[in-house]
Homo-oligomer: A and B are copies of this chain.
Amino acid sequence: PEVLRKKVWGICKMSKEVAQDDPRRVIHSLKVGLAISLVSLFYYYQPLYENFGLSAMWAVMTVVVVFEYTVGATLGKGLNRTMATLAAGALGVGAHYLASLSGETGEPILIGFFVFVQAAIASFIRFFPKVKTRYDYGILVFILTFSLISVSGFRDDEVLEMAHKRLSTIFIGGSACVMISIFVCPVWAGEEFHYSIAEKLEILGDFLEAFVDEYFTTSKEGDSKDNKSFLEGHKSILNSKSSEEALANFARWEPGHGKFKFRHPWSQYLKIGALSRQCAYRMEALKELLNSNTQGSPEIHCTIQELCSEMSLESSKALKKLVVSIRTMTMASSADIHIANSKAALKSLKSLLQSNLWKETDLFSLVQPVTVASLLIDIVECTEEIADS
């Protein structure tokens, strides 16, 4: 009992964490419950029930399977499912008709053959990378519907009616999902994506600031703890590719909402994401330098300190301006100044290095310019993108 109580307590704590992490998760769970009970009760109270018969459960099934966290994912799955059912239904009825022409003995063979060919081709198509990202679920439903119609139509010869029933129930279930996910506290994938990109740039900016602090201040006291967390922040960016791609993919399905139009340039966001990953890789390398305790002699340190920290801080400022301008979706003219400043600092640092001071510290000073240069490319691209949105 003691062990059990501890376990229960652990689960409670975990659920609290999950809920606090993003309160919308609780709302999402309630929404799912709402959608399913609504559809269930709809079938209970409607006199239509007798009409739909067992197909009613298709509606419930659709709700369970289609309802996703973001609006885009729900819409994408719903549309995929509807389209695939439509297409597979038509083809399945056709295949069934063809097979029934061939008489008693030929029928099972032909149907088996059709199902085999269809399943094999569709499974193969799922491997196409483009199809995989957007229509994977649709093809799964296609195989399913086609097989079901062929096999059960076989028995009942009520194929057309069955197809019609399935379509209408799926439509009811799907539209219930879409309605609820859009009108009850919607979570837009596009918005998520937009803010996650802004957050990433902010993390990069924080990193640069913290880096300057850490590298150029000799006093390492209590406040370095704070910096440490900033210095670790970029880790989350390193592996963000797949989640970003998923979000962009969902966002493409979404209709216009809030400040976003239907064909918002999501691919631009992906580009920024890729560039911020590039920056994060550089930062990983910079951080490694912090850890390696081969630090230069203090006087040389001082020589380049000013320029390096100016470069970093200006870049950081530019990034933060960009964050603001992404969040408010305005043109970022104010960032340009900071970019120009940091570019100027980069130039003078380069000339300083080429002149005479070929000392130990240029290790750092040369890695830093590389980072900053790539950051600058990033920033230039960002401004381009913001001009788009």
Which residues of A pack against B, CB within 8 Å? 14-15, 18-19, 25-26, 28-30, 32-34, 36-37, 40-41, 43-45, 49, 54, 56-57, 60-61, 64-65, 108, 111-113, 115-121, 123-124, 127-128, 140, 143-144, 147-148, 150-152, 154-155, 238-239, 241-243, 277-278, 281-282, 284-285, 288-289, 292, 294, 350, 353-354, 358-360, 362-363, 366-367, 369-370, 373-374
Contacts and interface: CB of A to CB of B under 8 A. Distances in A.
A150 B40 contact: yes
Contacts of A112: 37, 40-41, 44
A144 B14 CA distance: 25
Nearest to A360: B358
A25 B127 contact: yes
Main secondary structure of the interface of A (DSSP, over half): helix
A351 to B, nearest CB: 12
A141 to B, nearest CB: 9
A115 B239 contact: no
14 contacts: A15-B124, A15-B128, A29-B123, A36-B115, A37-B115, A40-B147, A61-B144, A238-B238, A242-B242, A282-B284, A282-B285, A289-B370, A294-B354, A362-B363
Contacts of A150: 40
A61 B148 contact: yes
Contacts of A241: 239, 242
A119 B180 CA distance: 15
